[in-house]
Chain A
Amino acid sequence: MILNCENVSLSYDGRTVASDINFTVNAGDYLCILGENGSGKTTLINAILGLKKVAGGKLSYGEGVRAQNIGYLPQKQSSNADFPACVREIVRTGFLGKRGFRPYYSKEERERAENVMKTLGISDFAKKSMDELSGGQQKRVLLARALCSAEKLLILDEPTAALDPIVTEELYEMTKKLNHEEKIAVIMVSHDVAAATKYANRILHIKHEQLFFGSTEDYLETELAKAYLGGHGIDH
Chain B
Amino acid sequence: MITEFFEYLQMDFALRALVVGVLLAVCASLLGVCLVPKRYSMIGDGLSHVGFGALAVASALGAAPLAVALPVVIIASFLLLRLRENGKIKGDSAIAMISAGALAVGVMIVSLSGSNTDLDGYMFGSLLSVTKADFVTAVVLFPIVIAVFAIFYTQIFAVSHDENFARATGMKANFYNTLLSVLVAVTIVIGMRLMGTLLISALIIFPSISAMRVCRSYFSTIITAVALSVISFLCGMVMSFAISTPIGASIVICNMICFFAMCLLGATVKKKRI
Contact = CB atoms under 8 A, between A and B. Distances in A.
Interface stretch (A14-22, A82-90, A174-182, A227-235): A82-90
A49 B173 CA distance: 14
Interface in A137-166: 145, 149, 155
A78 B165 contact: yes
Interface string B107-144: 00000000000000000000000000000000000000
B158 A84 contact: no
B170 A105 contact: no
Contacts of A97: 166, 169-171
- Interface of B, secondary structure class, is helix
Contacts of A98: 170
B217 A85 contact: yes
Contact of A79 (B37, B220, B273): B37
Contacts of A68: 169-170
B167 A103 contact: no
Contacts, number: 107
Interface in B55-69: none
A94 B218 CA distance: 16
A96 B169 contact: yes
Interface stretch (B73-81, B149-157, B198-206, B226-234): B149-157
B167 A85 contact: no
Contacts of B215: 84
B157 A85 contact: yes
Contacts of B162: 74, 77-79, 93
A85 B169 contact: no
Contact of A80 (B38, B166, B217, B221): B38
B161 A72 contact: no
A188 interface: no
A3 to B, nearest CB: 14
Contact of A128 (B151, B171, B216, B274): B216
B39 interface: yes
B168 A129 contact: no
Nearest to B219: A89
B265 to A, nearest CB: 15
Nearest to B169: A97
Given A78-B163, A80-B39, A82-B212, A89 B157 contact: yes
A50 interface: yes
A128 B170 CA distance: 27
Contacts of A2: none
Given A68-B169, A74-B165, A93 B216 contact: no
B203 to A, nearest CB: 19
B216 A49 contact: no
Most chain A CB neighbours (cut-off 10 Å) among B152, B157, B158, B211: B158
Nearest to A71: B169
Contact of A72 (B39, B168, B274): B168
B245 interface: no
Nearest to A100: B172
Interface in A56-82: 66-68, 70-72, 74, 77-80, 82
A127 interface: yes
Nearest to A45: B168
Nearest to B211: A84
A12 interface: no
Contacts of B212: 82, 84
Interface in B167-222: 167-172, 211-212, 215-221
A72 B217 contact: no
Contacts of B163: 78
A93 B164 contact: no
Contact of B166 (A70, A82, A96, A101): A96
Contacts of B151: 103
A193 B122 CA distance: 64
13 contacts: A66-B170, A67-B168, A70-B168, A77-B162, A78-B164, A78-B165, A84-B218, A84-B221, A89-B218, A93-B162, A94-B169, A101-B152, A105-B154
Interface of B: 33, 37-39, 151-155, 157-158, 160-172, 211-212, 215-221, 273-274
Interface of A: 49-51, 66-68, 70-72, 74, 77-80, 82-86, 88-90, 92-94, 96-98, 100-101, 103-105, 127-129, 131-132, 145, 149, 155
Q: Which 3 A-B pairs have the closest CB atoms?
A: A67-B170, A97-B169, A97-B170
